[in-house]
Amino acid sequence: MKNLKVFVVSDSVGETGEQVVKAAVSQFRPTFDNTVIRKFPNIENNDHIEKIVEIAIEQDAIIVFTLVEKKMRNYMIDSCNRENIQWIDLLGPLIHLFEEKIGEQPREEPGLVHKLDADYFKKIEAVEFAVKYDDGRDPRGLLLADVVLVGVSRTSKTPLSQYLAHKRYKVANVPLVPEVNPPEELFLVDPKKCFGLVISTEKLNVIRKERLMALGLNDDAIYAKPSRIEQELEHFNKVVERIGCSIIDVTNKAVEETANVIMEVIEQSK
């Protein structure tokens, strides 16, 4: 088997070029036998390019590069052609195509796609918040949340919290059980950001039975009985009436649908 050496040259971390090279190599050598892929990241000037070209000559390597600055791309191409080194420019043709299509000049700034902006950190913070204040674990989070969800067990509070977190909303949720008094913080929350999730007795009965069976338990437990569900829903109605919050029927709604309703209400109230 013939040896294959590929140099991935980038003015950023080189992740894009490396992944493309691996995808292509895997079509010939899925286990990457007799193959060397070497990254040269953070290339900043022509001297760096000259050094890489020298090594490529010695090791008979192909050069694959992702350079956003046109001058550096041209210098790399000229250097490779001068030394008869095989090369592939992954970004240049695409950047040129976009430039002609939209009539705009590229920024030529390395690493833009990898920069972690404020929006990214807001998403991470929201996801961590949803985990920390899930299922009423810490009622202090209710007053810090952008959205508060209340409902009986198995009304999609947790998946809905996570979905909204990925949309950058800090969400806390509280399960309502007749035998347990809701935290006092719940009644201090702005009703405009609180949402009660309600579901039909029949639907919840099916969901809870499936849950019990998934846990290896008997599906006729009181948890899934219609009488118990109706008792819980009655308690739910009393609590949400006291809060004065909106109520969303999630009986036949996907998590995404419910989330869209909540986001629309929240944005309109701002």
Q: Does 156 appear as a known binding residue?
A: yes
Q: What number of other Cβ atoms are within 10 A of residue 1's Cβ?
A: 8
Give 34-84 as a DSSP string.
TEEEEEE----SHHHHHHHHHHHHHHT-EEEEE--SHHHHHHHHHHHHHTT
111 is in an annotated binding site: no
Q: Which two tokens stand for residue 91?
A: 């970004």
The annotation status of 155 as a binding-site residue, yes or no, is yes
Residue the block writes with tokens 């649908």: 257
201 annotated binding-site participant: no
153 is in an annotated binding site: yes
CA 10 to chain centre: 26
* 211 marked ligand binding residue: no
* CA pair distance 41, 255, nearest whole angstrom: 42
> Which residues are annotated binding-site positions for ADP?
151-158
> Which residues are annotated binding-site positions?
151-158
